[in-house]
Structure formats: structure tokens, C-alpha cells
Amino acid sequence: MKVTVTTLNDELFVLDVSEDLELENFKAFCEIESGFPAKDIILNFNGMPLLDDKRSLKEHGVHDGDVVVLLHMLQTASNLNQNDSSQALPTGLANLDFGSIKVPTSAGQASASTSMAARNPPVEEDPRIIREMFLANPDQLALLKQNNPRLADALLSGNLDTFASVLREQILARTERQQQRIRQGGYRMMNSDPFDTEAQRMIAEEIRQKNIEANMEAAMEYNPETFGTVVMLYINCHVNGFPVKAFIDSGAQTTIMSAACAERCNIMRLVDTRWAGIAKGVGVQRIIGRIHMVQMRIEKDFLTTSFSVLEEQPMDMLLGLDMLKRHQCNIDLKRNVLRIGTTGTETPFLPESELPECARLSGYSEDEIVNQSMRDHEERQVKEALEKSKQVLGDPSRTILPSDAFGEAEVEEIVSLGFTREQAIVELRRFNGDKTQATVALFAKSLKF
């Protein structure tokens, strides 16, 4: 059976043990997980301490899925006696001379020391030191680009103030989440009714987060390569005699080229605008037209292909499935080459140092780079539409609708009893405007027996 153990320090772990395991052996397992000596551990179940070490968990009434609170006696005693330290001194401290200790004599000195501490943050939170550590470790910098692109962009911008601002914002957000989690789940989770659905939900969420962290730690230990960014497949080629770095994409239906690259290769004059349209994928882009036939040279082979010219395309050229199937191309990842089946020619894929700027390692995938601006525009439009709808309709949980069988007076009367406006409106709607039944329901929900 699985037993969840929680401590006063908000630590949580799950033990998979037999129901016939004696309590003293269960404490030994808790010592391994928590680091507290077994002799200093007291286990609390359903508000009562488990005292008989020779009895099994089953005899103590602990079953599969139950939660046990672990108390460290030394820590608990220190917490209980902390407020009484001013009343009595331990033996041996009464003879010590405290006269040499200097205490600030004014509020100005205290504020000055506080401001000095604020100007000198701890080493682990100093933005300058953190930035230098990342810049000196390329592996950690690549991992930061993968997991936290916003902080990585601020770090690589070269502006220390920008990096410090983003770092401080993320640290505060993390601290706030931790404090909120402790506020919501701390005391209540350990001391509430074990059948309380909210407490059980918090425990389940804690277990889920622990499982996710354990899964990530195992992946980082045994499969660290999965956290790296894959270099996209590019080859060198020539279009109309001009060198171009082409992206190999077997997931693209057609071969495309940017308008800027077509201008550079002097083939923009061949664009047939009758084939203009819209390209839809992750985003939406405008197709200027189509170039029906162009010679492209890969190594010593001259191949004929066609292009769809896109107006806004960060990549110069993308070889799609139509081109790859026509010339029976084979993507050999073991040898890291592209083999042209019709001629047998092989060309190597480019290393990261030779890739174009838009294909360098970053926290975004290739599709995200291509369509980022279009997605941002669409998201802005959706947000604007939502804001307009809220302004027109208002929040239904806070607004009295024409179809409601109650008025503002009933809502205000219930709010004066200590409930929120949302709670009052929801319960009045539930009981079709009956103020008495809504009030009784709200009081029943707020009471715990």
C-alpha cells in the first residue's frame, strides 16, 4: 500500500510499504526520506500520535492512500519554546557578558543597515554573478535557451539592467507561488478533516508535482540529450548561379522561396502572379506567385525544380516533399548526408556554425520562427475581441442580468452578511431569487462540522 507522509516543513513523500510493517520499521523508512533520526520522529494520524512501535500499520488503522504527519521532536520543541526564550535563560548563559554587543541606537542606523543589505544581495541572487556563470558555461546556456527563452534573451542582450529586471521578476513570481501554495495547503492539509475534498485535492496535486519532478530528474540523469535543441537540416546549393542555404523539410508539401532570395538570385522576373494565394500552416502567409522552372545545382548535379514565392519568409529556401520525391532524395541521418536517388550524389548537412541566423539554436522551433509574427498578431486580435466582449457584457458572475428574478437590494443584503458579490449572485440564481434559501445555503457552505 502507498502512504503519503508530510512534514511541518512542507515536505511531501510517498512510501510504498506493506500493511503488516511495524511502526518502528516505518519510522526507519521515514528517516531515510526526511533525514530526521527515527528516535526523534513522532507520526500523527487522524490527529492522534502513533505510540506503539511494535504494532503494525494495519493495527494502527493506517490503510492504502492515507496521509501521515511526521513531527520532528527537536524542531517542534524549539518552535514551541521560541517565544519563551526571553523569560528564562538556559543554565550557563546567565554568566555571559553581553555588554560588548552594540545595538543600533536609532532608526536611522537600522534603516541604513537594511538599505546596505538591499544593495548587496546574496551571491546566489546577484544578477552579475549569475550572468557571468551562464556565459562561462555554454552547456548551461544552451539549456537556459531551451527552458527559459525570455531570460536567455535578456542575458544575451548585453544589458545587465534588463537581465536583472527579468531575473528579479521571475524570482518574485516563484516566491509568490511558493508562499501561496504554503498558505493554501500548509496547515490545512496537515490538520484538516481527512475526508475534506479540498485537502485531498491539494495532496493529489503535491504528489503529481513530485512525480513530474522525479520524472524530469530521471530524464536529465539517464537521457540528458533529450534536453538539447536539434540542429535543423540545411544544405548548400546554387540557384541560377547564386549560393543559397536550403532547408530540407520533408513535412512541407511544396518547395518555397522568400521574395528577398528570389530578388537576390535574379529570378523575381519569372514569378507568375496568377498563382498568388495564401499559405496556411502554423500561421498564414501571402504567396506572391510561382516560378515554374528553375535550375538548381547541388554539388555537381543540375536539377530542375519550381518554387512558390512567399512575401514574408525568414528562410531563403525550403525544399519540400515535391522536390524530394521527384528526385528520390534520401535523408541519411546516420551519415548526416542528403542522397539524391536519381544521380547517387551525396551532399553533407551543414553544421550549426554554418547555419543562417534564423536557424541558430534558440528556445523556439523552426515553425515558431517562421510564423511568430503572424501568431502574435492573431493573439492580439483574440485578446482585443475578448476585452471588447467583457466591456459590452460585463462579468456574468458579478452582473445582474435582465433574466434574473432578483435585484441589487437582495444582493447587497447578502453581501452585508460577509459573503462576496459573486457568491450572492450565484446562490440567488440557483434558488430563483429566494433570498432566504440563498443565505442558508451560503452559511451551510461556510460552516465545518
* pLDDT at position 331: 93
Q: Given the C-alpha cell 534588463, which residue does it identify?
A: 162
Q: Please check whether residue 244 is in contact with residue 258, taking contact to mean a CB–CB distance below 8 angstroms.
A: no
> Residue 234: which residues within 8 A CB-CB, separation 6 or more?
245, 246, 247, 248, 349, 350, 354, 355, 356, 359
Which set of grid coordinates corresponds to residue 406? 432578483
Q: Closest Cα to residue 244, out of 305, 173, 153?
A: 305
> Residue 340: which residues within 8 A CB-CB, separation 6 or more?
298, 301, 303, 327, 328, 329, 346, 347
> Residue 118: which residues within 8 A CB-CB, separation 6 or more?
none
Pairing type for strands 2-7 and 48-50 reads unpaired
Which set of grid coordinates corresponds to residue 428? 440567488
d(CA 345, CA 310): 29
Place domain 234-368 in its CATH homologous superfamily: Acid Proteases (2.40.70.10)
Q: How far is CA 312 from the centre of its chain?
A: 31
d(CA 284, CA 290): 17
Number of CB atoms found within 10 A of residue 195's CB: 7
Beta bridge partners of 2: 16
Average pLDDT, stretch 213-233? Answer: 84
CA distances in angstroms from 351 to 136, 139, 253, 324, listed in the order given: 22, 17, 25, 21
Q: Please check whether residue 3 is in contact with residue 68, taking contact to mean a CB–CB distance below 8 angstroms.
A: yes
Catalytic residue among 64, 126, 249, 301: 249
Instruction: Write out pLDDT tens, residues 173-200.
Output: 877 777 766 655 554 555 556 667 777 7
Q: pLDDT averaged over the chain? A: 77
Average pLDDT, stretch 264-274? Answer: 90
d(CA 141, CA 161): 19
d(CA 429, CA 424): 9
Position 283 confidence tier, pLDDT thresholds 50, 70, 90? low
Which set of grid coordinates corresponds to residue 284? 498564414
Q: Please check whether residue 320 is in contact with residue 273, taking contact to mean a CB–CB distance below 8 angstroms.
A: no
| pLDDT tops 90 at residue 428 | no
CATH of domain 2-78: 3.10.20.90
* pLDDT at position 239: 93
Q: Please check whether residue 311 is in contact with residue 288, taking contact to mean a CB–CB distance below 8 angstroms.
A: yes
Average pLDDT, stretch 118-123? Answer: 46
Q: HSE-up of 293 (CA within 13 Å, CB side)?
A: 2
Catalytic site includes residue 64: no
Q: Closest Cα to residue 75, out of 28, 45, 37?
A: 37
Higher pLDDT among residues 132 and 91, named by residue = 132
Domains in the chain: boundaries: 2-78, 122-227, 234-368, 394-449
d(CA 69, CA 44): 5
* pLDDT at position 164: 87
Which set of grid coordinates corresponds to residue 169? 521578476
Higher pLDDT among residues 224 and 329, named by residue = 329
> Residue 188: which residues within 8 A CB-CB, separation 6 or more?
198, 199, 202
Which set of grid coordinates corresponds to residue 325? 520525391
Instruction: Write out pLDDT tens, residues 310-366.
Output: 988 888 899 999 999 999 999 999 999 999 998 999 999 998 888 887 776 444 444
* pLDDT at position 402: 74
Q: How far is CA 258 from the centre of its chain?
A: 34
Q: What percent of the chain has pLDDT over 90?
A: 16
**Quick check: pTM over 0.75?**
no
